[in-house]
Every structure is written in structure tokens, then in C-alpha cells.
Amino acid sequence: MVRKWPFRQLDVKNAFLHGRLKETVYMQQPPGFEDSNAPNHVCLLQKAIYGLKQAPKAWFQRFSEALLHLGFLGSHADSSLFVHRHKGDIVILLLYVDDIVITGNNLMLLHTLISQLRTHFAIKDIGSLHFFLGIEVVPYTDGIYLSQVKYANDILKRTMMHCARAIHTPLSQKNDFHVATGSPVDAFDYRSIVGGLQYLTLTRLDLTHAVNQVCQFMQAPTTTHWQGVKRILRYLTGTINFGLRITSRSSLQVVGFSDADWEGCAITRRSTTGLCVFLGTNCISWSSKKQHTMSKSSAEAEYRALASLAAEITWILHLLQHLGVSLASPPVLYSDNISALHLTSNPILHARTKHVELDYHFVREKVTVGAMITKYVPSATQVANIFTKALTKQQFQFLRSKLGVVSLPTSSLRGNESEFHKE
């Protein structure tokens, strides 16, 4: 997006039928096509069919082989990403089952490769990228806007919450999810709604922590947890047209923020790690996740969060390298805990971290060799705070705007390229 390349969307018709089976698979004769001379015989499948467990794998192998034949190379960082390079030109292809997004810096090469793919598969060229996996892609003057307005509306209508009174934050500062109160509710409905909210966090970063909290009680939800879900839905009602802004006016500097809520879970006493990674001004990765073990101090919890951030950035660097993107300077990791920052660069403090698993010292190695830089950021401007704890209305809205979660003008729900409203 920073380089303003065109995005095209393709669709493969009857994708799974293209897969070639390597295993021996038999099936009964289909109704209406039985052989009257041999009614007890079975069919030996040579190609995959829908409903077969091997079909997705067989289709992906078939498609991968075709791409490799055309000169594409698969990415080790993401198995669904393929890159084609030719005399300084580059074409990037992303596959999700039978949906394809393709882009590149040479339109002629792009059309040539699409034509070559048509010789192998029945491919429909949908045109410019507008709607992909439930995510609407709306272009505007300086980039694109990703939203799931229709999907969010469907959730609200399914729960009869589309007319509910709106609220300013998705999570109450005095929530008591971890307290065993309330009577049981229908677990199936609870999981269905919360699962839908999980998918909504693909473009609604501001919901990530609240959804993470209600997801922890899928096994035996109560009315207390359902009230938490209803609060998220009430917040969604008032921010239905919000989504993620991706601007082309951005650098290629990688910056990450990590934070931890020490012993935030009253049941397990484990902390929550929150992190987000920016490529220039665009947030490209985020997470809110409970840590696997307890931490003896807030510094240790923050150190574990930094290690998780370092691992995420390392994966992103591998991805950027495969895409041919080189960084002018090492990535910068921001934390609001000075003790945790000291742990990343001061080996004298090793005695205090003997109980910490070795893999968490991964971030220290990166800092030592100069591959990453750690810096302090005040808690008031720590963007990752929004992924670890419930915040006040003012602080929540401030950090939400920093993440690029903004409102699309109501007149631009399809194709308007006017500027976005800023909070």
C-alpha cells in the first residue's frame, strides 16, 4: 500500500476438484450412476472431490506446483504467500482456499501471470479488490480503509442489539469476569456470538482485549460473562462504521509496543500480554493474550511481553525480506517498564531471571547484536495499554485513534475517496 500498487482479486471455480490424490481412496458409486453389471464395486478416486478430508491439502499442493512452474517462490514466513520476481519487477500473490489477492509493480506482468494461471485453472477475475473474506476494502485519497460493517450489523441483528443504547468503551473498568457469580447461560449461543466477535477483531483492534476477556469463559459462561458480551455489542452499536485505516503516506520503519497487566487474572494470577507492531504509521499486527506462566514481578511480566513482541517482529522481518523490503534502521521496541528494559541489555541482572524460561531471553540476544533497539515510552502514550486493561473513555479513544481505528464518513460506505474524520 505504501508503494501504491494495484490490488486485484481472483476466484478459482471448483477449487477442490483440481487436487490430485496421492493416497489410495475409494468411494461408493454415486446415486444415479451405479453400474448395474457391478453394483457392489467401488470407485477409485484419482482427483479430489468436495467433502474429502484430503481435498484442501491436495488443492493447495496442486496450486503451489502451478505457481512454482510459473516462477513464483513460496514464503517460509507464510505458506499462503508467493512472490514472483523478473528483471526488477515483482508480483505478490496471497491465497486463501479459493480466493486470491494479487498485486505488483508491473501491470503488464500482472496480466500475463493471470492469463497463465487461467491455462491451469478456471479463474474468474473479479477486478479491483473490494470485498475479501468478509472485509470491505474502501479506497480513499491516501490509502485504503478496511471495515466489516456488514458483518458487525449481522451480529447485532442476530443478538437483537442493533437498537441498544450505545456506550463509549467495550470493557468496564470494574468488570468482575473472574469472580464466580451469576447463573449459567446457553454455552452454544455464547460461543457463537463470541466467535463472531473474534473474527471482527481483524479490523476492529479496539475490541481485541474485551473479546479476549469474554473468550476465557467459553466452557461455562454465566450471566456475568453475558453482560460483558452485551457491553461489547453496545459499544459496537455506537461505532458500527469504524474500521482500520491503512495509509500510503507512511515510512517503512518497524516499531513495536508491548505492555503487560501484572497478575490481571484473579483466578490464575497470570498476566496479560498486549502488543502491536507498526509499519510506519500503519498498525499491521496486534495481540492480547494471557501469559503461559505466573510472573514474580511486574518487571518479569513486562519482560515476557517484550520477548513476545521481539518474536512477532522477527517473523514480520522475515516476511518483509521475502517481499524485497529492506529497512533503513533496526526495529524499535517500546516499553513503559524501565526494569524490563534493563533486563534486555544488562547481563549483570541475570541472577534475577534464572527462573525465567530460556526462550524469553530471545529479546536480549536481539538487542545485544543490534538487530533490535529497546526504548522507554511513558505509560500515558503506551499504545499497547489498550490490549491489556480496561481504560477510561478519554484514554481509550486516544489510543484507538493512534491505532488507526477511525470512522468512515457515512457518505463513503462504497467508493467515496474523501478524507476520513479524525477524532
User: Which domain range does residue 346 map to?
Assistant: 250-386
Q: At what angle do helices 223-238 and 208-215 cross, to 10 degrees?
A: 160
**What mean pLDDT comes out for the span 353-372?**
74
Structural domains of the chain, count: 2
**pTM to 2 decimals?**
0.86
The confidence band for 421, taking pLDDT boundaries of 50, 70 and 90, is: very low
pLDDT reported for residue 268 = 81
- Give pLDDT tens digits for 250-269: 888 999 999 999 877 777 88
**Would you say 101 and 130 are in contact if contact means Cβ atoms under 8 Å apart?**
no
Q: Which residues contact 136 (CB under 8 A, 6 or more apart)?
A: 130, 146, 147, 148, 149, 150, 243
| Among 88, 314, 78, CA closest to 101 | 78
**What mean pLDDT comes out for the span 345-374?**
72
> Which neighbouring-strand residues pair with 238?
none
pLDDT reported for residue 420 = 36
Asked if residue 353 belongs to a domain, the reply is: yes
pLDDT reported for residue 348 = 54
User: Grid cell 470512522 — which residue?
Assistant: 407
Tell me which of 422 and 184 has the higher pLDDT: 184
Per-residue pLDDT for 358 more than 60?
no
Composition of the chain by helix, strand, coil, percent to 5: 35, 25, 40
- Give pLDDT tens digits for 295-309: 888 888 998 899 999
**What mean pLDDT comes out for the span 312-321?**
93
Q: Which CATH number belongs to the domain containing residue 280 in this structure?
A: 3.30.420.10
Tell me which of 34 and 412 has the higher pLDDT: 34
Sheet strand arrangement including 81-86: 72-74, 81-86, 89-96, 99-104, 7-12, 123-128
- From 96, 128, 160, give the residue that closes a domain: 128
Tell me which of 133 and 423 has the higher pLDDT: 133
Q: First and final CA of the chain: distance in angstroms?
A: 23
Asked if residue 313 belongs to a domain, the reply is: yes
Q: At what angle do helices 149-158 and 187-200 cross, to 10 degrees?
A: 160
Chain centroid to Cα 60, Å, comes to: 21
Q: How far apart, in Å, are the Cα atoms of 131 and each of 114, 146, 200, 361?
A: 19, 9, 15, 41
Per-residue pLDDT for 3 more than 70?
no
pLDDT reported for residue 354 = 55
Per-residue pLDDT for 332 more than 50?
yes
Determine the 3-state secondary structure of 322 from DSSP: helix
Cα–Cα distance measured from residue 67 to residue 55, given in angstroms and rounded to the nearest whole number? 18
Per-residue pLDDT for 235 more than 90?
yes
Asked if residue 160 belongs to a domain, the reply is: no
pLDDT reported for residue 305 = 92
Asked if residue 230 belongs to a domain, the reply is: no
> Which neighbouring-strand residues pair with 279?
254, 282
Strand 272-279 and strand 282-290: the pairing is antiparallel
Asked if residue 185 belongs to a domain, the reply is: no
- Give pLDDT tens digits for 59-76: 999 999 999 999 999 988
Q: Give the containing element (helix H, strand E) for 273.
A: strand 272-279
Q: What are the b/e assignments for 13-32, b being 16+ CB within 10 Å?
A: eebbbbbebeeebeeeeeee
Asked if residue 398 belongs to a domain, the reply is: no
Asked if residue 277 belongs to a domain, the reply is: yes
Asked if residue 349 belongs to a domain, the reply is: yes
- Give pLDDT tens digits for 175-232: 777 766 788 999 999 999 999 999 999 999 999 999 999 999 898 899 999 999 999 9
Cell of residue 234, nine digits: 453496545
- Give pLDDT tens digits for 76-113: 889 999 999 988 889 999 999 889 999 988 889 999 99
**Would you say 260 and 302 are in contact if contact means Cβ atoms under 8 Å apart?**
yes
Cell of residue 347, nine digits: 547481563
